[in-house]
Amino acid sequence: MKVERWQRVKEILGEALDRPFTERAAYLKEVCGEDTALRLEVESLLLADEDSGTFLTVPAIEASNAIGWRLGPYRTLEVVGQGGMGAVYRAVRDDDEFQQEVAIKLIRRGVNSEYVRSRFLYERQILAFLNHPNIARLLDGGTTEDGLPYFVMEFVQGQPIDDYCRTHACDLNERLELFLKACSAVEYAHRNLIVHRDLKPTNILITDDGTPKLLDFGIAKLLLPDHPHLAPAQTSLMMRALTPDYASPEQIRGEPVTTSTDVYSLGVLLYELLTGKKAHRFNTNTPGEIERVVCEVEPLRPSTLNRQLAGDLDQILAKAMEKDAVQRYPSVEQFSEDIRRYLSGQPVSARSHTMFYRVSKFVRRRKGVVLAAAAVLLTLLGGIAATTREARIAQRRFNDVRKLANALIVEHDAFAMIPGSTAQRGRLVQQALTFLDDLYRESGDDPQMQLELAVAYEKMGDVQGRADGPNLGRTGAAIASYRKSLALREALAKRGGGDQELSALYLRLGGALKVAGQFAQAIEYDKRALAIRERLAAAKPGDLTMVRNMAESYSSMAVGMTQIGDWDGTLLYRHKALAKYLELIAGGVHTAEDYNGLALSYMRMGTILTQQKHYEEAVQNLNRSMEVAREGLRDFGRNQPLRMTETAALRSLANLELERDRPEAAIEHFQRVNQIYQQMVAADPDEFRVSSMLASTHHRLGQAWLKKKDTVAAEREFAKGLQMRQRLAQRSPANAGAQGEVAESCAALGELYALRKDVTQAREWFNRARATLTQLESTGRANSASRAILTSVIDRLSAL
Amino acid sequence: MSAPDVTRLLLDWSQEGNRAALDALTPLVYDELRRLAGAYLRRERHDHTLQSTALVHEAYLKLIDQRNVQWQNRAHFFGVAAQMIRRILVDHARGHQAAKRGSGAAQLSLDEALGVPGQKRDVNLVALDDALAELEKLDPQQSRVIELRYFAGLSIEETAEVMSISPATVKREWSTARAWLFRELNRTDAQVPNDA
């Protein structure tokens, strides 16, 4: 064959290979025209390509040597990929009659340095955190005979997302839908504070049934600062592994990365999927050229490459691929939400630059802002206030701060479900609060603005003192924030809509009021929420979201009934809630919250039944509660609320054993519970609820020892409980329950001294308890438990 | 010969185009790679994780003075190393083939019986080497892409870096050359050069 002829054949072949199968014939016909020999030549090469399978895709040495090793119980079949640190093998479990296919990633010996090794183990650790249908799952891990670590993953048979779209000739909507599924996996990782940092087509495989699977967390990073056992990324070394096409400007410059980096890479990927062209063109592969192109050159407007993209998609891609991280979508969720809005014909949120851009540039020049997850927001918040004061441009400042407050709230959501993050959230929120209050004063009657503010105050209240979530124990502040949100929301609801959000807010406010001991008000808000939800559910029969809302509302009512000692009401609403949760789980689509709701319902039924001395039935409910929580934990491994519920159910079981005079069993359970709470407190010392549970567990342990007449052990536990409870009560003066618990501890110590016949000491402790309880009672903040203690304290005092 | 000397030769060749430097360099790289690759070719299973890129890295670390490293040198080194690995593997395969022929048909069929069926069967390195030589006449750039990818185990991006061309070009050259080579190796009339 002549050299010139081959160049021509190669050109046509290359173009044809880039097209879907179905379009190739037409293309050949068009480009070859009368030259039949040329067309036949290309066709024979296309056939060869189709038959070629994995020909030459595994490098020579590996190919000859990769088959048939045993790694633990697995046997390798072939090399299917290579990363920077090691190779990935297709393998089967040798001792398994089902011959399940797996992928095994094995560290590469030639580069088995301490750094690579720790990086490899870090990836394994990160994968262990992740459990999502669109992320290749970690199955197993181990070490070879000669000490090389490996891990075993789900084997994903699929095509890179770009190839898949090409060979399946996906249309625009199909491409977007596929992309959205991939985004959900990235969102999930972000919610677990994990940034992937290497999103590109070859790391998103699409299986034959069209399911995207996210792979290769080889250079991913955990955003939590307090995990010293997980090696931090060495940016300089990471750089070499990066693909410049998808790397963000901050990655190229070697700056710290946040979830925003993944937003950028996903943007580039979508750009390619929709335009069929690379976003960047590098003239050479020198670092200087790469930095210049990635950090400075704007890619061609997508619509110039594909007319269909004009308008919204142009805007969406531009916003995702902003060079400046702060200008991008604050989260993958908001990015994908905009795509969803586009698909359903709603207006998208992507908007063009504002004053904000220039201001933040100025701030960066002046202060050298470090782009680290929360730090960037805080620094910018401070910086903008200063610069805009100088500029005195009220309207613009308004928009900028609003944007930042919103960004902050998104970051806050990502932190919310991770244990150990409460104090960080508190700091973020405190700073945002100042800005929100400014905004509130200036907000006027812009409904969009008011809505954003309402959301912001609600989140603020959550962090300060949400009754059923991790919080800082600042109940009074939380109530104030919720009330601000409520004023805005009620005004908005008058204009129509927003009922669901309003009912959720009623419940939050109700929850905080219960903590503060203002039960009548709390129940009033719970009832308002329930009324709205009953109305909404009636309009949409069979809608699982409505069922979930009803369940939540019933549970909340039941808690209120318990607090005022209305046992019939409690049982009624508990039964209703339980029925709704069972309906939900039977409905098939579950969330961690559903499992938790069901587990909590069983637990509370158990505690009521314990109080009514139906012990056997109570034990059944409590065991069921733990089973449900554990079932949920299998699907949602790191879910803090589920773990809390599981532990609380065990604690209730311990209480029950104490109640029916089996102190040995009670002590055993309490000690186990104590261990768990101690671990949780160590992980997040600022979290209020766990500390409070730990204190109560010490108290209950004391009671159990007292039953066994071991006053020494009992005194030790009571004293620990009292000390912790006093600290907590100081931290949260508005928390009526916390005050009541201090009194409970005092009363218990009184009981102990009475048993030792030390009347003076006993009298002193009982009197301390009485003072606190009387004070609560006289301000109308005593709950049924506090009142019961007060009655018994008065009895004991008169008996001494 | 010490590491600084090898580095010097590499610099002379890559920066000043000194052909003699390359000639002096080649046997050094070859010897080191052959020593390292020996473990594989004898199929010492304990060393199973050593791969071609690792092989080249290891040789590079041994041979090159690390205080005087530029990517440019590394890129050239990879180029040389890929050729060397090709040489080593193909020589080994030719020897193996000769041995098989020497020991009769029985062993040949046994070997074949152990092979993985279908598309995943081992590539015939001797035939590939011949086909690559043909390809080099048609399109030297394509033959280098194959060499770097298949023999040195470089990724698309790494190959682009070594050859100072764009990854898109590498991808295109790779896929078209792969189709051509596959067809060449699977011709029933493989002995007859196409369109000569």
* Long-range Cβ pairs for the range A593-598 (8 Å, 24+): A593/A548, A593/A641, A594/A548, A595/A628, A595/A629, A595/A631, A595/A632, A595/A635, A595/A636, A595/A642, A596/A629, A596/A632, A596/A639, A596/A641, A596/A642, A596/A645, A597/A548, A597/A551, A597/A552, A597/A555, A598/A628
Say yes or no to pLDDT of A391 above 50.
no
Cβ-proximal residues to A135 (8 Å cutoff; 6+ apart), any chain: A185, A188, A189, A213, A214
More confident residue, A148 or A139: A139
As a whole number, the mean pLDDT across chain A is 79
CB pair distance less than 8 Å for A61 and B119: no
**Between chains, do A59 and B50 touch, taking CB under 8 Å as contact?**
no
Q: Which of A592, A690, A598, A698 is nearest to A648 (CA)?
A: A690
Residue A350 has pLDDT above 70, yes or no: no
**A369 near B CB under 8 A:** no
Give the pLDDT confidence score for residue B101 in this predicted structure.
Answer: 47
Q: How many CB pairs under 8 A join A and B?
A: 143
* Span A161-183, pLDDT tens digits: 999 998 898 999 999 999 999 99
> What residues in A contact B166, CB-CB < 8 Å?
281-282, 285
Q: Is the pLDDT of residue A11 over 80?
A: yes
pLDDT band at A24 (very low <50, low <70, confident <90, very high): confident
Q: Does residue A669 carry a pLDDT above 60? A: yes
Tokens of B129: 């080497």
- What is the mean predicted confidence (pLDDT) over A652-657? 94
Nearest in space to A742 (alpha carbons), one of A794, A681, A692: A692
**Maximum average pLDDT range among A142-156, A214-228, A274-288, A667-681:** A667-681
With a CB cutoff of 8 Å and minimum separation 6, the contacts of B107 are B100
Res B193: pLDDT:
39
Map tokens 């020589």 to a residue.
B91
CA distance to A213, A214, A223, A315, A336, per residue, from A183 (Å): 10, 9, 19, 18, 7
Is residue A277 within 8 angstroms of chain B, CB to CB? no
Q: Evaluate if residue A732 carries a pLDDT over 60.
A: yes
Residue A220's pLDDT band, with cuts at 50, 70 and 90, is low
- Sequence-ordered alpha helix ranges (H) in A373-474: 375-391, 394-416, 422-442, 447-465
* Cβ-based contacts of A110 with chain B (< 8 Å): 49-51, 53-55, 57-58
pLDDT tens digit string along B105-161? 333 222 232 222 223 345 788 889 999 999 999 999 999 999 998 888 787 888 888
| Higher pLDDT pick, B70 / A409 | B70
Cβ of A69 and B155 within 8 Å? no
Return the CATH number of the domain spanning residue range B115-187. Answer: 1.10.10.10
Q: Which of A451, A498, A461 is nearest to A483 (CA)?
A: A461
What is the predicted pLDDT for the residue at A128?
74
Over residues B54-74, the pLDDT tens digits come to 666 666 666 665 555 555 566
Whether the per-residue pLDDT at B180 is higher than 90: the answer is: yes
C-alpha span between A8 and A28 (Å, rounded): 12
Which range is most confident: A183-197, A533-547, A646-660, B51-65? Answer: A646-660
Nearest to A597 by CA among A546, A632, A637: A632
CA dist., res. A84 & res. A733, Å (int): 55
Q: Which CATH number fits domain A60-155: 3.40.640.10, 3.40.980.10, 3.30.420.40, 3.30.200.20?
A: 3.30.200.20
Give A8's contacts (C-beta < 8 A, 6+ positions apart). A38
Q: Which of B50, B123, B138 sits opposite A56 (nearest CB)?
A: B123
pLDDT at B122: 54
Round to whole Å and give the CA distance between A198 and A242: 7
For residues A549 and A503, the answer to whether their CB atoms sit within 8 Å is yes
Q: Is the pLDDT of residue A101 over 60?
A: yes
Contact B51 A282 (CB under 8 A): no
For residues A10 and A16, what is the distance between their CA atoms, to the nearest angstrom? Answer: 10
Domain residue spans in chain B? 1-106, 115-187
Shortest CA distance to A693 belongs to which of A713, A678, A711, A706?
A678
A33 pLDDT band, cuts 50/70/90, is: confident
Contact A348, A341 (CB under 8 A): yes
When pLDDT is cut at 50, 70 and 90, the band that residue B174 belongs to is very high
Per-residue confidence band for A245, with pLDDT thresholds at 50, 70 and 90: confident
Give the pLDDT mean for A406-435: 53
Percent of chain A whose predicted confidence (pLDDT) is above 90: 28
Closest CA to B73 of B31, B15, B34: B15
pLDDT at B31 over 90: no
B123 and A86 within 8 Å at the Cβ level: the answer is no
- Segment A209-223 shows an average pLDDT of 77
Helix, strand, coil percentages (3-state) for chain A, rounded to 5, are 65, 5, 25
Whether pTM exceeds 0.80: no
Q: Is residue B43 scored above 50 in pLDDT?
A: no
Decide which of A416 and B152 is more confident. Answer: B152
Instruction: Determine whether the interchain pair B178/A245 forms a contact, defined as Cβ–Cβ distance below 8 Å.
Output: no
Question: Of A13, A54, A285, which has the smallest distance from its Cβ to B160's Cβ?
Answer: A285
What pLDDT sits at residue A405? Answer: 53
Res. A562 pLDDT band, cuts 50 70 90: confident
Q: Is A1 in Cβ contact with B179 (below 8 Å)?
A: no
**Surface-to-core class of residue A76, CB atoms within 10 Å of its CB (0-12 exposed, 13-18 middle, 19+ buried):** buried
Distance from CA of B193 to the nearest CA of A (A): 9
Quote the CA–CA distance of A207 and A212 in Å, as a whole number: 6
From chain B, the residues in CB contact with A51 under 8 A are 119, 182, 186
pLDDT range class, residue A348, cuts 50, 70, 90: confident
Selected residue of A54, A57, A65 to mutate for chain B interface (largest B Cβ count, 10 A): A65
Yes or no: say if A11 and B172 are a contact pair by the CB < 8 Å rule.
no
- Tell me the ipTM for this assembly: 0.74
Q: Do A59 and B155 touch (CB under 8 A)?
A: no
CA atoms within 13 A on the CB side of A606: 27
d(CA A222, CA A233): 9
Is the Cβ pair A285, B194 closer than 8 Å?
Answer: no
More confident residue, A670 or A236: A670
Q: What would the two tokens of residue A365 be?
A: 């020049």
pLDDT of residue A399: 52
CA dihedral for A326, A331, A337, A339, sign (positive or negative): positive
Mean pLDDT score of chain B: 68
Percent of chain A exceeding pLDDT 70 equals: 78
CA distance A719 to chain B (A): 59
Confidence of residue A233 (pLDDT cuts 50, 70, 90): very low
CATH architecture, range A156-346: Orthogonal Bundle (1.10)
Residue A535 pLDDT greater than 80, yes or no: yes
- Please state, in angstroms and rounded to a whole number, the distance separating the CA atoms of residues A518 and A243: 58
Which residue of chain A has the CA closest to B183?
A48
Please judge whether A284 and B52 are an interchain contact, meaning their C-beta atoms are less than 8 angstroms apart: no
A430 vs A685: which has the higher pLDDT = A685
Mean pLDDT of A605-613: 88
Q: Which pLDDT belongs to residue A98? A: 63
Distances (CA, A) of A139 to A93, A122, A194, A204, B35: 11, 16, 19, 19, 38
Determine the Cα angle at A684 with ends A678 and A689, to 5°.
Answer: 75
For residues A12 and A18, give the distance between their C-alpha atoms in angstroms, rounded to a whole number: 10
- CA-based end-to-end distance of chain B: 45
Considering only the beta carbons, identify the residue of B51, B119, B182 that sits closest to A62.
B51
pLDDT value at A292 more than 70: yes
Mean pLDDT of B91-99: 65
For the segment A610-653, what is each residue's pLDDT rounded down to a tens digit?
988 889 999 999 999 999 999 888 877 777 888 889 999 999 99
Chain centroid, CA A379 distance in Å = 24
Residues of B in contact with A60 (CB under 8 A): 52, 85-86, 89, 123, 125, 150-151, 153
Residue A439, pLDDT above cutoff 90: no
Q: How far is A115 from chain B (nearest CA, A)?
A: 16
Q: Residue A707 carries which side chain, given as an amino acid letter?
A: K
CB contact under 8 Å between A87 and B51, yes or no, is yes
Length of chain A: 800
Strands A101-107, A86-93: pairing is antiparallel
Considering A105-114, A409-418, A536-545, B59-68, the range whose residues carry the highest mean pLDDT is: A536-545
Could you tell me the pLDDT band of residue A445, with boundaries at 50, 70 and 90?
low
Question: How many C-beta atoms lie closer than 10 Å to residue A144's C-beta?
Answer: 18
**Residues near A464 by Cβ (< 8 Å), separated by ≥ 6?**
A426, A429, A471, A472, A474, A475, A477, A478, A481
Whether residues A61 and B89 touch (CB distance < 8 A) is answered with yes
Query: How much is the pLDDT for A418?
Result: 40
Supply A536's token pair.
Answer: 């909404």
Confidence of residue B46 (pLDDT cuts 50, 70, 90): very low
Distance from CA of B104 to the nearest CA of A (A): 23
Nearest 10 degrees: CA dihedral of A777, A778, A781, A787? Answer: 10
Chain B residues lying within 8 Å of A111, measured CB to CB = 54, 57
Domain limits of chain A? 3-51, 60-155, 156-346, 353-465+476-488
A106 touches chain B (CB under 8 A): yes
CA A319 – CA A334 distance, rounded (Å): 11
Give the number of C-alpha atoms closer than 13 A to the C-alpha of residue A685, restricted to the C-beta side: 4
Q: Given this model, what pLDDT does residue A111 score?
A: 47
Label residue A347 exposed, middle or buried (CB < 10 Å: 0-12, 13-18, 19+).
exposed
Collect all residues with Cβ–Cβ distance below 8 Å to A231 and sequence separation of at least 6.
Answer: A115, A118, A119, A121, A122
Task: Note whether A371 and A250 are within 8 A (CB).
Answer: yes
Q: What is the pLDDT of residues A181-191, one digit of tens each?
A: 999 999 888 77
CA-based R_g, chain B, Å: 18
Residue A302 burial by CB count (10 A; 0-12/13-18/19+): exposed, middle or buried?
buried
Joined tokens for residue A466: 């949400």
Per CB-CB distance under 8 Å, the chain B contacts of A244 are 157
**Tokens describing residue A557:** 């009512």
SS3 A159: strand
The token pair that represents A71 in the structure block: 């790694």
Average pLDDT over residues A345-367: 44
Residue A97: is its pLDDT beyond 90?
no
Say what the pLDDT of residue A353 is. Answer: 37
Which pLDDT does position A223 carry in this prediction?
53
Helices B167-185, A3-17: crossing angle, 10 deg rounding: 110
Residue type, A764: E
pLDDT digits (tens, 9 = 90+) for A509-526: 999 998 888 889 999 999
Tell me what pLDDT residue A228 has: 36
**Sign of torsion, CA A176 A182 A186 A188?**
positive
- Give the pLDDT score at A16: 92
Q: Which helix (H) or strand (E) holds A597?
A: helix A592-611
Which residues make Cβ contacts (< 8 Å) with residue A307, sequence separation at least 6? none
Chain B positions touching A17 (Cβ under 8 A) are: 175-176, 179
